[in-house]
């Protein structure tokens, strides 16, 4: 059974002059214990999608979907409060700059104790404080912090970003979630510490069978840690499949460009030669192209691309393109070259 | 190659234009803004537009109630006081005294405060601390008390009131300028300017000041509402504007003895003071709100 | 090819002014020497605290060195303010965070006009022409000169930083983690642009970065700094395939999963 099943989720910003579709009909599904990577550059709407899942979006965004199932429960039929109750019990999220997410005026210990769910404590009310302390220490051990005494007493600004991210993961684990959404967890820290955080997430996934949705803008550094990858571009769904499928055989021109821009794909290129890159830049929200949003930049764009493509499935490898690569379908009419 | 002008329909809003657009969309701020502009116009043109002289009174029209009262006279729209002087003219002249002088006071203290604050931010060490804190002793004494002391030393009169209130308002501008300049100079574009070979004053003028003007304006409106109240209070106590200048506080004090027979001589100047202070505060709130919205974008 | 930039025995130390009698001196850079040639890229890697940013700031003139000498084309650059103007024309820098390197209250035209006004004596028409050609060189439109920075995307802002660096036709450009904050496709475009400019203008780049993939592709020589000293230097390919020093090996190992141990 699928843990999370979303079909055609759209997020719109409704203003006086026109509606802006920041996320346009994206589908996502996750199984239990799966580590899925959600890759997209800035402006792809991946953070919006994650925030819409957890339910922390601003009121100015309107979210609607055809199907939104969580562990078999149809969330669209529930009221907002019930939906929030279901989701907040089972989903946890960690964010990009951990030091900014922690309260700078209270110590780590106090914040950690605050995050602990009191329904998991048993005993009389005078024992609860002691139990909370023990639970906090246990959480810190789970994320690999052995020296809990100094950690509990220190303030966020005294620790490094990687340390703070571990504390955030500990706080996220306090409610024993089934799905952990990590929104670019390592963007703010040194590359040398990235490996530690990813190893921690991988061990949590294996030990507790916790599903992880790993959001990143760089396809390179999450390939070693994920089972499946979904690629988004400018709010639209582009491609999804297992990591090896995406890397060895990308079907969408955008995914191919992403894979080509990663350093490991360029190992065979001579030094200081030109890298393969798509021309142009990501469209801004005010000027979104109609139909397939990669249209103006795509080297294989044709007249058919003014209509948004539907999702085709090649043995579990889904792609949303009219003319996917290495397929039998060849474009018939002459290509429209757009000068960007 | 691409055409040169593609974005024909786009307008390019500078940060000030952005602030103005947010300001324009807030109705309360626009209300305060229009009242503020009305007061400024009145302060400049009041003496020309006033129907009667504020100093000479008509002796046969003593203590006339305002025109909406049964005994009132429509040619004296807001009534007269105990010497036969028209209340409307007195209030209009008073605008240029109370409101106009407060405006000038704020501008003078702003200029002095910003200069000292920038000097303090550009230097380091003992010099910087000295410049920053040498007027802090002024902050430790309540502003009204300090103004009274200064007036007691220099003697009463509206000019001395102005100097007293200027002195009281300078320290806050020093602090806010110093803090803002120090914060801005940590940004990379100031370093880039320095690397281009710009002198410190050029950096200050072109790179730093355009970005801190908004914060200083917000502080200036706060200072102005304090200045209006200080000038009016000093006038009320008899230490500021002397008889027969029609300053609002002095007018209010004049009417206090006759409150039971002629209440309009008290509440009309009071309402004028309230109107001016509320307008200033609304404009200040509008600026600060627009700053916050622009930062969030 | 002649040596464009030569650094001899450059060192930097700070004196702590906290104590009156017990002055503590911290050495950030022990005497180091290296050289860069035209059309070449030198990469500098090292942990945090190894002195990379201090070295970059000294080279570009934001800080003064405590000792040593910098030679540009054989001429020594002094630390005085009169030669600072000379230095800022020849050695330019691109910063990491494009969001704060552009003054938000100035249009792009005014931003790019400033170095021209301070360092050249061109009249206004010539300045606008030069700005227009520079913008086109970095891949933007001449129209963009009327924009404010908040209207541009991150990649475009980084291009404006690059335009500001090349507008004075320098000889050396220092890239202080300039590509780290960009998305991968923008990064590839930027690298292509930098390579083209290096060919056209004969620039030398000094690249400070953490991303070993970019360094491997983009640089000819590499220097490894650790605690203010050069621990290893040489041609990039050799150093990265056969690192000799402990620090280099540790750095490569930490990011080794990026280059070698990819899941097939």
Are A260 and A275 contacting, i.e. CB atoms less than 8 angstroms apart?
A: yes
Residue at B187 is within a domain: yes
From residue B188, give the alpha-carbon distance in Å to each of A76, B193, C101.
48, 9, 5
Which residue range(s) make up the domain with B238?
28-46+84-296
| Six-digit token string for B23 | 């300001």
Are A222 and A205 contacting, i.e. CB atoms less than 8 angstroms apart?
A: no
Contact C106 B206 (CB under 8 A): yes
Contact C236 A271 (CB under 8 A): yes
* Residue B199, domain CATH: 1.10.3720.10
Residue at B239 is within a domain: yes
* pLDDT at residue number B152: 82
CA distance A31 to C162: 45
3-state secondary structure of A338: coil
**Chain B contacts of C146, Cβ < 8 Å?**
12
* pLDDT at residue number C264: 34
Question: What are A314's strand-pairing partners?
Answer: A317
CA distance B287 to B222: 11
Separation in Å, CA of A122 to nearest CA in chain C: 43
**Chain A contacts of C191, Cβ < 8 Å?**
275
**Chain B contacts of C177, Cβ < 8 Å?**
none
Helix A108-115, helix A128-142: angle, nearest 10: 100
pLDDT in tens, A313-329: 888 888 888 888 875 45
User: Pairing mode, if any, of strands C91-94 and A61-64?
Assistant: unpaired
Residue at B76 is within a domain: no
**Beta strand extents in C73-131 (DSSP E only):** 75-77, 91-94
Domains defined along chain C, listed by start: 3-258 (3.40.50.300)
pLDDT in tens, A202-236: 999 999 889 999 998 888 778 888 999 999 998 89
Are A220 and A247 contacting, i.e. CB atoms less than 8 angstroms apart?
A: no
Three-state SS letters, chain B: CCCCCCCCCCCCCCHHHHHHHHHHHCHHHHHHHHHHHHHHHHHHHHHHHCCCCCCCCCCCCCCCCCCCCCCCCCCCCCCECCCCCEHHHHHHHHHHHHHHHHHHHHHHHHHHHHHHHHHHHHCCCHHHHHHHHCCHHHHHCCHHHHHHHHHHHHCCCHHHHHHHHHHHHHHHHHHHHHHHHHHHHCCHHHHHHHHCCCCHHHHHHHHHHHHHHHHHHHHHHHHHHHHHHHHHHHHHCCCCCCCCCCCHHHHHHHHHHHCCCCCHHHHHHHHHHHHHHHHHHHHHHHHHHHHHHHHHC
Nearest to A218 by CA among C248, C174, C95, C213: C213
CA distance B28 to B48: 30
Contacts of C203 (CB under 8 A, 6+ apart): C38, C39, C166, C170, C171, C172, C173, C197
CA distance C90 to C83: 11
Residue at B145 is within a domain: yes
Residue at B208 is within a domain: yes
* C35 close contact with A: CB closer than 8 A: no
Contact C263 A224 (CB under 8 A): yes
* pLDDT at residue number C34: 85
Separation in Å, CA of C188 to nearest CA in chain A: 6
Are A99 and A164 contacting, i.e. CB atoms less than 8 angstroms apart?
A: yes
pTM of the predicted structure, to 2 decimals: 0.79
Q: Which CATH superfamily includes the segment(s) A4-105+155-266+277-319?
A: P-loop containing nucleotide triphosphate hydrolases (3.40.50.300)
ipTM score for this prediction:
0.76
* A278 close contact with C: CB closer than 8 A: yes
* pLDDT at residue number C261: 39
Residues lower than pLDDT 70 in chain A: 118, 120, 327-340
* C212 close contact with A: CB closer than 8 A: yes
Contacts of B98 (CB under 8 A, 6+ apart): B228, B231, B232, B235, B247, B248, B249, B272, B273, B276
Nearest to B153 by CA among B143, B140, B163: B163
Give me the number of domains chain B comprises. Answer: 1
pLDDT tens, N- to C-terminus, chain C (264 residues): 467 888 888 888 877 666 566 667 777 888 888 888 888 889 988 877 778 888 888 888 777 777 788 888 877 776 655 556 677 788 888 888 777 788 888 888 888 888 888 888 888 898 899 999 888 888 887 778 888 888 777 788 888 888 888 888 888 899 888 887 777 878 888 888 888 888 888 888 998 888 788 888 888 888 888 888 888 888 888 888 888 888 888 877 776 644 443 333
Are A70 and A29 contacting, i.e. CB atoms less than 8 angstroms apart?
A: no
List subunits contacting chain B, requiring 3 or more Cβ pairs under 8 Å.
Answer: C
* B206 close contact with C: CB closer than 8 A: yes
Contact C142 B4 (CB under 8 A): yes
Nearest CB to C185: which of A266, A271, A277?
A: A277
Residue at B5 is within a domain: no
* pLDDT at residue number A338: 38
Residue with tokens 């329904």: A119
Nearest to C162 by CA among C139, C188, C130: C139
CA distance C178 to C208: 8
| Six-digit token string for B12 | 């390019």
CA distance A111 to A171: 8
CA distance B30 to B33: 5
Residues lower than pLDDT 50 in chain B: 1-5, 9
**Chain B contacts of C140, Cβ < 8 Å?**
none
* pLDDT at residue number B105: 92
Separation in Å, CA of B9 to nearest CA in chain C: 12
Contact A41 C184 (CB under 8 A): yes
* pLDDT at residue number B107: 94
Are B148 and B234 contacting, i.e. CB atoms less than 8 angstroms apart?
A: yes
Residue at B3 is within a domain: no
Contacts of A193 (CB under 8 A, 6+ apart): A160, A161, A162, A186
Q: Which of residues 97-116 of C touch B (CB under 8 A)?
A: 97, 100-107, 114-115
């Amino acid at each position: 059974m699928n843990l999370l099943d979303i079909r055609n989720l759209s997020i719109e910003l409704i203003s006086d002059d026109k509606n802006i579709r920041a996320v346009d009909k994206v589908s996502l599904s996750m199984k239990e214990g799966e580590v899925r990577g959600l890759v997209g550059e800035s402006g792809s709407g991946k953070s919006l999608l994650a925030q819409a899942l957890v339910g922390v979006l601003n009121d100015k965004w309107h979210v609607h979907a055809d199907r939104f199932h969580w562990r078999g429960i149809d969330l669209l039929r529930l009221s907002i409060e019930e939906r929030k109750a279901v989701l907040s019990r089972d989903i946890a999220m960690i964010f990009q700059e951990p030091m900014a997410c922690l309260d700078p005026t209270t110590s780590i210990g106090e914040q950690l104790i605050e995050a602990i769910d009191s329904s998991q404590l048993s005993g009389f009310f005078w024992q609860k404080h002691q139990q909370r302390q023990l639970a906090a220490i246990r959480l810190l051990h789970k994320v690999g912090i052995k020296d809990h005494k100094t950690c509990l007493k220190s303030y966020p600004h005294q620790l490094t970003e990687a340390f703070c991210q571990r504390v955030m993961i500990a706080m996220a684990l306090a409610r024993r979630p089934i799905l952990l959404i990590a929104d670019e967890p390592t963007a703010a820290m040194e590359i040398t510490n990235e490996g530690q955080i990813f190893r921690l997430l991988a061990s949590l996934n294996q030990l507790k069978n916790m599903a992880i949705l790993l959001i990143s803008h760089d396809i390179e550094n999450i390939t070693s840690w994920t089972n499946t990858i979904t690629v988004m571009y400018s709010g639209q769904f582009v491609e999804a499949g297992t990591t090896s499928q995406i890397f060895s055989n990308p079907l969408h021109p955008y995914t191919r460009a992403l894979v080509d821009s990663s350093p490991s794909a360029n190992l065979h290129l001579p030094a200081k030669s030109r890298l393969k890159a798509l021309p142009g830049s990501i469209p801004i929200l005010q000027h979104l192209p109609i139909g397939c949003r990669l249209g103006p930049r795509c080297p294989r764009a044709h007249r058919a691309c003014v209509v948004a493509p539907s999702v085709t499935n090649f043995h579990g490898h889904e792609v949303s393109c009219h003319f996917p690569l290495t397929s039998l379908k060849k474009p018939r009419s002459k290509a429209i070259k757009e000068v960007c | 190659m691409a055409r040169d002008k593609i974005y024909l329909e786009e307008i390019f809003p500078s940060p000030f234009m952005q602030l103005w657009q947010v300001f324009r969309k807030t109705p309360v701020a626009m209300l305060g803004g229009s009242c503020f502009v009305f007061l400024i116009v009145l302060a400049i043109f009041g003496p020309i537009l006033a129907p009667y002289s504020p100093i000479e009174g008509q002796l046969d029209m003593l203590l006339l109630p305002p025109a909406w009262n049964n005994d009132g006279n429509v040619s004296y729209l807001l009534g007269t006081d105990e010497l036969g002087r028209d209340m409307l003219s007195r209030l209009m002249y008073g605008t240029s005294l109370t409101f106009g002088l407060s405006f000038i006071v704020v501008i003078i203290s702003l200029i002095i405060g910003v200069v000292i604050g920038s000097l303090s931010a550009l230097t380091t060490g003992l010099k910087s601390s000295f410049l920053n804190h040498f007027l802090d002793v002024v902050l430790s004494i309540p502003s009204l008390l300090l103004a009274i002391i200064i007036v007691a030393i220099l003697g009463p009169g509206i000019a001395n009131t102005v100097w007293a209130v200027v002195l009281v308002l300078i320290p806050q501008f020093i602090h806010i300028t110093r803090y803002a300049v120090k914060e801005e100079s940590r940004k990379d574009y100031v370093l880039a300017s320095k690397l281009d070979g710009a002198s410190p004053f050029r950096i200050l003028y072109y790179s730093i000041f355009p970005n801190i003007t908004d914060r200083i304006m917000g502080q200036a409106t706060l200072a102005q509402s304090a200045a209006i109240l200080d000038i009016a209070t000093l006038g009320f106590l008899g230490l500021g504007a002397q008889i027969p200048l029609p300053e609002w506080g002095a007018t209010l004090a004049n009417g206090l003895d006759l409150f039971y027979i002629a209440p309009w001589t008290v509440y009309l100047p009071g309402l004028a003071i309230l109107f001016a202070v509320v307008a200033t505060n609304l404009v200040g709130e509008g600026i600060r709100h627009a700053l916050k919205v622009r930062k969030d974008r | 090819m002649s040596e464009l930039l030569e650094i001899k025995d450059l060192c930097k130390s700070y004196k702590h002014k906290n104590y009156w009698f017990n002055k503590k001196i911290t050495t950030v850079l022990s005497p180091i020497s290296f050289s860069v040639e035209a059309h070449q890229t030198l990469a500098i890697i090292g942990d945090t605290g190894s002195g990379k940013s201090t070295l970059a700031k000294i080279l570009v003139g934001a800080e003064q060195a405590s000792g040593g000498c910098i030679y540009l084309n054989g001429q020594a650059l002094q630390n005085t303010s009169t030669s600072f103007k000379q230095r800022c024309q020849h050695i330019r820098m691109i910063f990491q965070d494009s969001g704060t390197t552009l003054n938000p209250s100035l249009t792009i035209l005014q931003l790019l006009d400033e170095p021209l006004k301070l360092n050249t004596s061109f009249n206004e028409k010539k300045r606008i022409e030069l700005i227009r050609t520079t913008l086109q060189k970095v891949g933007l439109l001449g129209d963009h000169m009327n924009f404010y920075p908040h209207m541009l995307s991150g990649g475009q802002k980084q291009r404006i930083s690059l335009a500001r660096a090349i507008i004075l036709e320098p000889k050396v450009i220092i890239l202080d983690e300039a590509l780290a904050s960009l998305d991968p496709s923008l990064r590839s475009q930027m690298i292509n642009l930098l390579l083209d400019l290096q060919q056209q203008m004969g620039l030398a780049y000094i690249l400070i970065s953490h991303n070993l993939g970019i360094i491997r592709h983009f640089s000819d020589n590499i220097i490894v700094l650790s605690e203010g000293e050069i621990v290893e230097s040489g041609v990039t390919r050799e150093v990265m395939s056969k690192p000799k020093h402990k620090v280099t090996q540790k750095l490569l190992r930490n990011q080794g999963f990026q280059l070698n141990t990819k899941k097939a």
